[in-house]
Structure 1
Amino acid sequence: MRESAVARHDRLLALVRERGTARVSDLAAHLGVSPVTARRDVEALAARGLLDRAHGQVSWPRRPGAGERLTSGDGGVGPVLGLLAPSATYYFAEIIRGAREAAAGAGARLILRICDYRPEDDRSRTEGLLAAGAEGLLVAPGWRGAGDQAEHSDWIADLPVPTVLLERRAMPGSPLDGLDRVSSDHRHGVVLAVRHLVGLGHGAPLLVARSDSPTALAVRAGYTEALAALGLTSPGPVIDSVPGELDPEGFEAAVRALSAAITSGGATAALVHNDVDAIQMVQRLAELGVRVPRDLALIAYDDEVAALADTPLTAVAPPKRHVGRLATELLVERLTGGAESEDGRGDEEPRRHLSLLPTLRVRASCGAKSATTSR
């Protein structure tokens, strides 16, 4: 796949920031592009104020010094905040919305970069945010698999500006574990779902889940913890799910495994991550003769589009908008000195790990008589 100009610009900015000053010819060689392309890139970035250019070489622009302040997007004086997100749609759309609202309330400007769930691009995208003037960062790395954090994260703890980890949890003892972070407590969300289904007279539900995002992995881990905490035994192994549009055969295998468990009497309830998979599974299960909620009580996880299903789906709703808002407020505190202690010594307060609790929005798919919300 051909590299986009935005991705190439981010790599160029990362090289210049690392070196301080670089010749355009050297940048062309490292980027694997022609000198003409490198020169055009440099001119475009310099015109935006992201690089200083002189005599065939470029340098990292001077950062605002003491007493100076970059202007916010509305022309007022306020901090410039950078947000790295793996996506601007589905789950992260609400997180970005909350961050934008909090930034506006603080008179700050929010700038966004998307890594498209490519953790190898996280660093260059973040360098682009710094080059664009970000004085503080909200970072939601594009991790997918279980090993991505260990392979693609140590640099985050060394960023030169205040940083808040967003909707991600660091491994205990890792460099990232010392950063501020704000995230949803997915274990609690799974407990809500399991407890609700058991309260309706079902045994422990089956879990049908992806394994391609931190949320999916957290739901899987939370399922094991929830069953242990509630003294329950899983009716069967976790059913691995995949996006139907990317892997139709894998998706069909997951649907048939769930159908077999229901028709054999092995289970009467399921928790499905995520909404889109749950809606498509309900449709396919009906074609196989399994009806929701008559034959299967089902709860989805994410609550992005669950209410729009033919049979509105009960769903666990992580507090996405609040995650974005509180993370932004915390970052602004760090930047403005509001996170200092009140004892008069000016000591910085300890870093914070904020866990926000999901809610359960009850609808028709688990046999509910009316819509309610549980906490």
Structure 2
Amino acid sequence: MRESAAERHDRLLGLVRERGSARVSDLATLLGVSPVTARRDVEELAGRGLLDRVHGSVSWPQDAAGPATGPGAGSGPAGGGPVLGMLAPSSTYYFAEVIRGAHEAAARAGARLVLRISDYRPQEDQARTEGLLSAGAEGLLVAPGWQDPGDPAAFGDWIASLPAPTVLLERRPAAGSPLDGLDRVCSDHAYGVLLAVRHLVRLGHGAPLLMARADSPTAVAVRSGYAEALAAHGLRAPQAVIDSVPSELFPDAFERAVRALREAVLSGVATAALVHNDVDAIQVVQRLAELGVRVPDDLALIAYDDEVAALADTPLTAVAPPKRDVGRHATELLVERLGQGAGAPRRHLTLLPQLRVRDSCGARNHP
């Protein structure tokens, strides 16, 4: 299977993290890509503050969390604060902001954050988390690399028996499961979808179509939230959800999805759509334009995630989950948990997304 850009970015970050610094030409060789691709990747990651770039080389940012190695690895800053371990499925796209929020909160608390990435391989989550504990982590922030609906049951039970205080990030286990009793901090994606549907309905559209992935907990939450949002407005879906996939991995399936959306617009089935995620939404808008459907003239469109939505040719209205706040609040909760001990009540903290209105829904100035 062809490697996605996000997977390649994670490999690049891992190489720089391990080495401290590296030449861009060496990274191209190690990644098996052209120097042009490596330079483009480095520029994107440096622009997001994940790498420092100087004269053909890149280095791990001085204020970023690094691996716990060397003397005193089990001690916090100046040997005084706790070491917090964080498992994330990715260090790019959505989770880059979650990690940044966690790192900032850890620094304010005098703690050290140690990061490990699972690359969305849930079968490796446990080993990576045990590695964090071996590196001296006293508390854990865990975002499992679940993708399929069956992953929590297949790759989740071990989390409830971890020997250190644990906070789940952006993951909602099944009600009544062992994981449901853990502290957690999540975005309320159902509320985010409700904001999008409400905005489009207020603009005079009927029920919007949903074009969404099904390869992450966020995608699953967006899909279930869509049904709830329509029910709250007394609406029915104009047709079945259009399944989206990464265009770089499955170009034919992506093309079929775009053409299904085009057909729905041309046939009058829908005049508005919600698309998860940003990258897909940008590519959808570009391809629709090539097929004669313009956004927002022919179709009002809202993206979900707000990672790169504002950078599209037609800036995309987008639902923005509070990613940095998730990382911040989860870290603050973990630090508090370390100070309270095991007897303190557990907490589930849910944060609300925002709707950022731009041009793609044709209502920048709409209240």
Q: Which residue of 1 aligns with 2:184?
A: 181
Q: How does 1:12-161 map to 2 (within 5 A)?
A: 48=70, 70-72=74-76, 74-161=77-164
Preserved CA contact (<8 Å) 2:75 2:136? no
Which residue of the partner structure matches residue 299 of structure 1? 302
Give the Å deviation of 1:253.
Answer: 0.5
Q: Deviations over 1:84-140 (max 9, x none)?
A: 000000000000000000000000000000000000000000011001000000000
Question: TM-score of the superposition, structure 2-length normalised?
Answer: 0.80
The question of whether the paired residues in 1 share the 8 Å contact of 2:278 and 2:308 is answered with: yes
**2:270 match: secondary structure:** coil
Shift of 1:336: 1.6
Aligned partner of 1:367 in structure 2 is 362
User: Are positions 1:351 and 2:346 aligned together?
Assistant: yes
Give how far 1:370 is off. 3.3
**Farther-moved stretch of structure 1 (309-318 vs 222-231):** 222-231
CA pair 354-272 structure 1, distance change in 2 beyond 3 A: same
Partner of 2:203: 200
Query: 1: distance between equivalents of 2:116 and 2:286?
Result: 35
Alignment partner of 1:190 is 2:206: no
Q: Which residue of 1 aligns with 2:17?
A: none
Q: What is the identity, as a one-letter code, of the residue corresponding to 2:350?
A: S
Residue 317 of structure 2 corresponds to residue 314 of structure 1: yes
Seen in structure 2, the aligned counterparts of structure 1 residues 271 and 129 have a Cα distance that, compared at 3 Å, is: same
Q: 2:172 aligns with which of 169, 173, 188?
A: 169
- Residue type at the aligned position of 1:71: S
SS of 1:82's equivalent? strand
Instruction: Extract unaligned runs of 5+ from structure 2.
Output: 2-10, 15-66
The CA distance in 1 between the partners of 2:211 and 2:125, in whole Å, is: 29
User: In 1, are the aligned partners of 2:74 and 2:137 still within 8 Å (CA)?
Assistant: no
Q: Partner letter of residue 277 of structure 2?
A: N
Instruction: Judge conservation of contact 2:274–2:302 (CA < 8 Å) in 1.
Output: yes
Task: Decide whether the 8 Å contact of 1:76 with 1:107 is kept in 2.
Answer: no
Gaps of 5+ in 1: 7-44, 51-68, 341-346
Matching of residue 246 in structure 1 with residue 273 in structure 2: no
RMSD of aligned residue pairs (Cα, Å) = 2.1
2 CA distance for matches of 1:237 and 1:128? 43
